[in-house]
Amino acid sequence: MDKNYDYLIVGSGLFGATFAHQMTKAGKKCLVIDKRGHQGGNIYCREIEKINVHWYGPHIFHTNDKEIWDFVNSFVEFNRFTYTPVANYKGELYSLPFNMNTFYQLWKTKTPAEAKSIIDEQVAKNFIKQPKNLEEQALNFVGKDIYVKLIKGYTEKQWGRKAIELPAFIIKRLPLRFTYDNNYFSDKYQGIPIGGYNKLVEGLLEGVEVQLGTDFFKNKDELIKLATKIVYTGKLDEYFSYSLGHLQYRSLEFNHQVLDTENYQGSAAVNYTDFETPYTRIVEHKHFEFGKQPKTVITKEYPLEWTTEKEPYYPINDFENETLANQYKKLKELEPNVIFGGRLAEYKYYDMHQVIASSLHAAKAELNVR
């Protein structure tokens, strides 16, 4: 039976869209399907009050890879946005990431030596040679003040578990910056697409056939007959019908509000680091593109326990889930005509530039390009 397409691409997020673009450019015929009613996956933006609202949470593009930066800018020009979030702990405001501004706000220290002295003293008081959980690990890195005010409550809300119940290896490091620098990312290239991320996805999918509102699993038998190969970007365990059990994720709920004010909080993001505030942050979207619209749109972000009815956003990369994911990854070897890619299909936390790099690598491998 002749196939209509070279590739059936399940998911129109960054991995799928990038792969479709590369293969279409090489003369291959692709069909992209997505169960949502829009393309772009989690980087989709919805325009409200002439503001590009990051519908599934804020996405700030950052990379040190000039090739990746030039690639995305070939579709849409990126602005010079620099991410400088603020932490709100019970009404007290602190700069993020942890830097000399933060230390001054905490202790009124003015030199790196003063700040280091306080941190070293606090670490020494709580130091545990072999930390058994996230709390002990964090105290080893930054001491009590930073941990209690800026890490503990936020982390427990994000994970839905007490810090003493989370494994230590989740925190591999907590960078302390002994300069007055509020730039959250240290990457050379940073920004937001001018006009929103939809322009990037539209550029990637130009000339590609896309079918929205199409659920791969509800139509699997018919869909797999259409193409020689499948590119799958959905949940890894779902592809294998959860045959080994369910992988775990964290989900999110986004509460979007239009406010009749020009500027609500003066920052793209304010993180609420106390446990009592139910949301982890408030995002004010107009600041991503330096908007001057008369109204503003904010989003409160609530972490949720994931169920099969909710969207999976973050893989829970603890020992139990990593072990199960590795078992599923062995099953991939039995699927030579399926390419698994992206955060869900690889059960791996990826930043946007890493997703694109992974997709470009997969496309080169398919085309035997070095």
User: Of the candidates 170, 197, 215, which is a domain's last residue?
Assistant: 170
The pLDDT value recorded for residue 300 is 98
Note whether residue 84 is domain-resident: no
For the stretch 213-242, pLDDT in tens is 999 999 999 999 999 999 999 999 999 999
- Same domain, residue pair 202 and 320: yes
For the stretch 51-80, pLDDT in tens is 999 999 999 999 999 999 999 999 999 999
Note whether residue 71 is domain-resident: yes
For the stretch 4-39, pLDDT in tens is 999 999 999 999 999 999 999 999 999 999 999 999
The pLDDT value recorded for residue 318 is 81
The pLDDT value recorded for residue 1 is 44
Supply the DSSP symbol for 217: T
* Residues with active-site annotation: 173, 177, 250, 281, 301, 349, 351
**Residue range of the domain that includes 361:** 5-51+63-77+188-247+316-367
Average pLDDT estimate for 93-111 = 98
Domain CATH code at residue 207: 3.40.50.720
- Same domain, residue pair 157 and 12: no
C-alpha to C-alpha distances, 80 to 20, 52, 77, 83, 210, nearest whole angstrom: 28, 16, 10, 10, 31
Note whether residue 102 is domain-resident: yes
Note whether residue 148 is domain-resident: yes
State yes or no: pLDDT of 133 exceeds 80.
Answer: yes
Note whether residue 113 is domain-resident: yes
Beta strand 45-48 with 209-212: parallel, antiparallel or unpaired? unpaired
Give burial (CB, 10 Å; 0-12/13-18/19+) of 24.
buried
The pLDDT value recorded for residue 370 is 60
Work out the percent of the chain whose per-residue pLDDT is above 90.
92
Note whether residue 205 is domain-resident: yes
Find all residues with CB under 8 Å of 14, minimum gap 6, and list them.
Answer: 41, 43, 201, 342, 352, 355, 356, 359
- Same domain, residue pair 228 and 337: yes
State yes or no: pLDDT of 173 exceeds 90.
Answer: no
Average pLDDT estimate for 148-167 = 94
State yes or no: pLDDT of 191 exceeds 70.
Answer: yes
Ramachandran bin of 113, using left for φ above 0, alpha for ψ from -120 to 50, beta for the remaining angles: alpha
For the stretch 254-273, pLDDT in tens is 999 999 999 999 999 999 99
Number of structural domains in the chain: 2
Rg (the chain; Cα; Å): 22
Residues in the chain: 370
User: pTM here?
Assistant: 0.94
- Does an H or E element contain 26, and which? none
State yes or no: pLDDT of 369 exceeds 90.
Answer: no
User: Of the candidates 170, 196, 213, which is a domain's last residue?
Assistant: 170
- Same domain, residue pair 70 and 218: yes
Closest CA to 71 of 13, 20, 22: 22
Note whether residue 130 is domain-resident: yes
The pLDDT value recorded for residue 309 is 87
Note whether residue 273 is domain-resident: no
